[in-house]
Amino acid sequence: MSALSRASDTTTFLRLPSLPIYSNLTNTIPLCSFKFHINHRYRQRHSLISPHLLKTPNPFPTMAHSNNPSSDTVDPTCAEIIVVRHGETVWNVDGRLQGHIDVELNEVGREQAAVVADRLSREFKVSAVYSSDLKRAFETAEKIAATCGIAEVIKDPDLRERHLGDLQGLVLQEAAKVSAVAYRAFKSHRTNQDIPGGGESLDKLYDRCTSSLERIAAKHTGERVVVVTHGGVIRELYQRACPNGKSGGRVLNTSINIFHIFDGDRWTIKTWGDVSHLNETGYLKSGFGGDKTSG
């Protein structure tokens, strides 16, 4: 279904504000910024990203990785939300679809969690840590919170991965044979397509996870918080910040993705897909998911 047909019953006003430049980053690039007045049951796909940015797999600058803490200052008109994908699980390695099944981190995932936690504690002053209530995310978040000096992790079920219905627990390569109807729904280009067995459409996932992030932003204007969640969720957050942009690419385990949210309805991406903390661990390309097969 085209974006036009999906949004045909909505009124949309797009305002292109001055695009922010982050002068403290090595490779300064204007980032996408949008303001919407829409019915959020429909994801708007009108791109305001410069064409030259779409030619690269990751148009957003990564953070400078150093031992010196970054500035504690956050724009008082927005919330800075550091969104982190959970560490690796055995099911990630096996290519098995997790969805809402509560799988724990493996040893690699725990090391990844420790590495990203150490980095965040050195480079940022964090006010709070939020997490999906699934073990793989919550364990990653607990490590980050403990290392950053945060007393507790706030669980939010709306940050869970997409429910994949009858596909949950199946190896992706076998799913088409084992559950053909659910697999076709999973691969459908229709974002309102539910997956048999109680699975969610992409639109339902989009609505709950973007609403969650906006609620968090409303509580933490002028502050920096960490949110630990899942690959499928992070891809939907990208779509909210950059509608009609090309895919942000694969979301790797413990990647760092920084969003600024202004007044709940204007989002920008400051950093996308930063995994430089994993460069020396040997686990950069391990795991599974974080792309269209995320689960």
Provide the annotated active-site residues.
86, 161
Question: How would you class 143 by CB atoms within 10 Å of its CB: exposed for 0-12, middle for 13-18, buried for 19 or more?
Answer: buried
Q: Among candidates 184, 270, 181, which has minimal Cα distance to 224? A: 270
- Would the annotation count 160 as a binding residue? no
Residues 6+ apart with CB under 8 A from 247: 235, 238, 291, 292
CA distance 188 to 268: 28
Instruction: Tell me how crowded residue 204 is: count the other CB atoms within 10 A of its CB.
Output: 16
Element (H, E) at 241: helix 231-241
CA distance 37 to 12: 6
Q: How far is CA 55 from CA 32, 243, 248, 290, in A?
A: 15, 16, 11, 20
- Would the annotation count 235 as a binding residue? no
- Inter-helix orientation angle 202-219/231-241, to 10°: 70
- Would the annotation count 92 as a binding residue? yes
How big, in percent rounded to 5, are the helix, strand and coil portions of the chain?
A: 35, 15, 50
CA distance 289 to 128: 27
Q: Among candidates 210, 256, 221, 222, which has minimal Cα distance to 85? A: 256
- Would the annotation count 89 as a binding residue? yes
- Taking the mean position of all CA atoms in its chain, how far away is CA 151? 24
- Would the annotation count 115 as a binding residue? no
User: Residue 219 is encoded by which pair of tokens?
Assistant: 């509580």
- Would the annotation count 110 as a binding residue? no
Binding-site residues, in ranges, read: 85-92, 136
Binding-site residues for substrate, in ranges, read: 85-92, 136
